[in-house]
Amino acid sequence: MPGRSRTAARALAERGDPYTPVLDAVCGRLPRPGRRTLADWRRRAAEGPPGEEVGLEPFAPPEYLAAAGPSPAHRPPAPEPLPTGESR
């Protein structure tokens, strides 16, 4: 893979992964990336993965959630049953 970014191949080789030659063979068949593409890859690698945004907002409209009442996690615990023969 001369002249190509070898980050993944280097990481695989360093850990002795048996798939290193497979990655080398696949990448050897790919066209050489341009300067802009390489710059974009480097920028994205430096930024890391995007922040998690899934599940942060309720799926239902707020008025529906208010009418449904508190979620099971926020309901008070049910009273414990009384011993047999006793009443409250």
The pTM assigned to this predicted structure is 0.36
Please report the pLDDT score of residue 39 as a whole number.
94
Average pLDDT in the 55-66 region? 70
49 by Cβ neighbours in 10 Å (0-12 / 13-18 / 19+) ranks as exposed
Residue 60 φ/ψ, nearest 5 degrees: -85, 160
Ranking 16-30, 40-54, 62-76 by mean pLDDT, the lowest is: 62-76
Distance in angstroms (rounded) separating the CA atoms of residues 12 and 10? 5
